[in-house]
């Protein structure tokens, strides 16, 4: 039961939620039931079939609609008198600036990627608004509190590199080849050769106005059903046209999704193969041997060669045909196995065709086999627990109860009969370039490295700036923004292709660059140190940045139960050597927790902290 002061703080609070997915649905429900009266939600995603098993504010009829807007409508049905404002938008859009954030008393994150989390962290720091961060992966979860001047910020400590990816990204907006691999393996392969009755997002894209390549436009017919008079060749082409053509065409109708993204290209068999192959099937060689192989059947020998779109199309069509001709009895019960040659060929070809559609570089079968990774599926109960903990910490923040702030970790197995491990928050890292303004050091060959490389590989990729402005002293050498005139843009374009020491104001050993993002209101200084040579294997960027809290890239042990995935999918281990109990007293428990890959709701789960290396907030 909340105290009188807490109840008043709750009723008078204006809260911003970022993310309306697995955690977000539970969080919005819990906020409403806890008495919060003014809630704003930002989420750019639309509802997918795969969301329905755990995001309980959504129903089948909501598929394709805005998560934020539907979540709002669902909660208002049982709390009609509260104010909920929904934004179907990207939190990185210019409208969500520091001034926008300043109107809120607390910000609650339920995001699914590191980039957006860093962006919100910086806006909260600039606006001086407390942030409650969260994440879940399977049965594991955590909630952390970040208050400027009182605790560390979200970027004070290194974060593990994400190993799996949100389903929304996989199904709608892939940007990396691994997204295409997971789509081909977990969705398409499972749908074609596993349980055909399962619902997934491959079903919902069929357009009544779009032909599937066989001339059919019956939207009510299950495209994945092999009709009695359909040959395996015809079926393979129908599936190809549906998932790579019709689905993409249907997705393009959502203009909001592609407003700030490169639009994908629908691909049909007729776009790739000559007419004789489209009508008569792909030419295959005899003598495939006991183990069916699509690449062997069409004469491809080297698994380390990257197939072009035409070759990937042939492999895809041949693989589907071979599954139905040589392994028909297994269809309906198959799961992906890295040791199944035909399955690997199918997934590689499907991933490459999808990558081609989205403008993503293609990969060889050898690389694709290594990339294929596990998804740790979301657990609704974990999301509910974490949402409850977020609200508890939000109430403490609103009540000014800083002495009782806790970072709480949800464990899969009890330790000392405890499933929830609260830890006192830590002071800011004095070397954090985000909240402590400590200069960074960039070792780089100033004679050969272009400004473009520094902008792309350091300023944007590592520092997470969206609209950077770069200065040397009082000279502006680069800037991005919508309000720049043509002459300025032309000058900056010229500068991008110059070596650092060839810029109008040369950048050489000992130079200090000032880098700023006006939207995030973040400024940091980078000290330049010239270095002639770099190790191509260990330092592939040709430059080394120190002083930033980048991903934890320590070597990781391979996971023997990972179905043979690459060792990079194994979780990093860190020791939690001191744990506070619910009363804030130190137990001194030594606990080793393995944090595995992230789930399909949240793409980054922070590692459990090595507490003895940090200073707790007193």
Give Dmax (Cα) for the chain.
Answer: 81
Residues 168, 180, 410, 524: which is the catalytic one?
168
The set of residues, in sequence order, having a beta carbon less than 8 Å from that of 227 and lying 6+ positions away, is none
Block residue for tokens 């092999």: 226
Q: How far is CA 443 from CA 3, 446, 510, in A?
A: 55, 9, 10
| Annotated binding-site residue numbers | 19-24, 43, 51-54, 67, 112-117, 153, 156, 432, 435
For 477, phi then psi, to 5°, come to -105, -15
Secondary structure of residue 80 in the 3-state scheme? coil
- Would you list the DSSP string of 143-189? EEEE-TTTS--TTSS--BPP-S--HHHHHH---SHHHHHHIIIIIII
| Annotated binding-site residue numbers for ATP | 19-24, 43, 51-54, 67, 112-117
Dihedral over alpha carbons 430, 431, 433, 437 (to 10 degrees):
50
Secondary structure of residue 321 in the 3-state scheme? helix
Burial class, 532, CB count within 10 angstroms (exposed 0-12 / middle 13-18 / buried 19+): exposed
Burial class, 547, CB count within 10 angstroms (exposed 0-12 / middle 13-18 / buried 19+): middle
Contact status, residue 335 vs residue 320, Cβ threshold 8 Å: no
Rounded CA-CA distance 325/282 in Å is 14
Secondary structure of residue 16 in the 3-state scheme? strand
Rounded CA-CA distance 568/511 in Å is 37
In the 8-state DSSP scheme, what is residue 376?
B
Judge whether 168 counts as a catalytic residue. yes
Burial class, 612, CB count within 10 angstroms (exposed 0-12 / middle 13-18 / buried 19+): exposed
Residue positions counted in the chain: 618
Rounded CA-CA distance 375/186 in Å is 8
- Extract the tokens encoding 136: 């879940």
The set of residues, in sequence order, having a beta carbon less than 8 Å from that of 88 and lying 6+ positions away, is 43, 44, 66, 67, 68, 69, 256
In the 8-state DSSP scheme, what is residue 328?
G
Contact status, residue 246 vs residue 264, Cβ threshold 8 Å: no
Compute and round to an integer the Cα radius of gyration of the chain.
26
Contact status, residue 38 vs residue 13, Cβ threshold 8 Å: yes
Burial class, 194, CB count within 10 angstroms (exposed 0-12 / middle 13-18 / buried 19+): middle
Tell me the catalytic residues. 168
């Amino acid at each position: 039961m909340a105290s009188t002061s807490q109840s008043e703080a709750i009723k008078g609070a204006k809260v911003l939620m970022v993310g309306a997915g697995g955690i977000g649905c539970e969080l919005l429900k819990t906020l409403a039931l806890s008495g919060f009266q003014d809630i704003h939600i930002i989420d750019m995603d639309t509802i997918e079939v795969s969301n329905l098993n755990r995001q309980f504010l959504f129903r089948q009829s909501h598929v394709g609609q805005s998560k934020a807007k539907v979540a709002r409508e669902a909660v208002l049905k049982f709390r009609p008198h509260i104010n909920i404002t929904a934004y179907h938008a990207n939190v990185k859009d210019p409208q969500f600036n520091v001034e926008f954030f300043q109107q809120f008393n607390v910000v609650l994150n339920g995001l699914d990627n590191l980039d957006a989390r860093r962006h919100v962290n910086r806006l909260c720091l600039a606006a001086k608004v407390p942030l409650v961060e969260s994440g879940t992966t399977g049965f594991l979860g955590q909630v952390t509190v970040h208050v400027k001047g009182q605790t560390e910020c979200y970027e004070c400590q290194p974060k593990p590199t994400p190993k799996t990816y949100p389903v929304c990204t996989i199904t709608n907006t892939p940007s990396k080849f691994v997204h295409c691999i997971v789509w081909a393996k977990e969705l398409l392969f499972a749908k074609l050769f596993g349980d055909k009755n399962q619902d997934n997002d491959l079903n919902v894209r069929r357009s009544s106005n779009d032909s599937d390549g066989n001339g059919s436009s019956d939207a009510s017919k299950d495209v994945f059903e092999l009709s009695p008079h359909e040959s395996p060749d015809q079926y393979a082409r129908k599936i190809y046209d549906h998932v790579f053509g019709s689905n993409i065409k249907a997705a393009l109708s959502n203009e909001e999704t592609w407003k700030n993204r490169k639009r994908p290209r629908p691909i049909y068999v007729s776009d790739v193969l000559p007419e004789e192959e489209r009508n008569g099937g792909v030419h295959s060689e005899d003598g495939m041997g006991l183990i069916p192989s699509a690449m062997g059947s069409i004469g491809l020998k080297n698994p380390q060669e990257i197939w072009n779109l035409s070759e990937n199309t042939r492999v895809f069509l041949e693989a589907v045909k071979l599954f139905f001709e040589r392994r028909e009895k297994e269809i309906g019960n198959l799961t992906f196995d890295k040791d199944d040659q035909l399955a690997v060929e199918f997934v590689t070809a499907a991933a490459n065709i999808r990558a081609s559609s989205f403008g993503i570089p293609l990969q060889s079968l050898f690389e694709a086999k290594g990339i294929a990774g596990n998804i740790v599926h979301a657990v609704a109960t974990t999301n509910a627990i974490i949402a409850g903990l977020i609200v508890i910490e939000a109430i403490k923040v609103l009540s000014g109860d800083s002495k009782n702030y806790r970072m709480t970790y949800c464990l899969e197995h009890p330790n000392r009969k405890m499933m929830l491990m609260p830890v006192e928050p830590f002071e800011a890292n004095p070397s954090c370039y985000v909240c402590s303004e400590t200069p960074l050091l960039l070792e780089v060959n100033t004679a050969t490295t272009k400004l473009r490389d520094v902008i792309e590989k350091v300023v944007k990729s590592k520092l997470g700036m969206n609209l950077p402005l770069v200065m040397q002293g009082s000279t502006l050498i680069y800037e991005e923004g919508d309000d720049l005139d043509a002459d300025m843009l032309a000058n900056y374009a010229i500068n991008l292709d110059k070596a650092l020491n060839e810029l109008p104001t040369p950048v050489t050993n000992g130079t200090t660059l000032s880098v700023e993002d006006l939207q995030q209101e973040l400024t940091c200084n980078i000290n330049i140190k010239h270095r002639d040579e770099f190790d191509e294997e260990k330092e592939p960027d040709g430059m080394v940045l120190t002083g930033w809290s980048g991903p934890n890239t320590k070597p990781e042990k391979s996971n023997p139960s990972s179905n043979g995935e690459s060792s990079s999918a194994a979780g990093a281990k860190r020791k939690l050597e001191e744990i506070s109990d619910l009363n804030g007293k130190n137990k001194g428990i030594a606990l080793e927790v393995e944090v595995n890959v992230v789930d399909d709701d949240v793409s980054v789960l922070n590692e459990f902290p090595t507490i003895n290396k940090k200073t707790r907030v007193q």
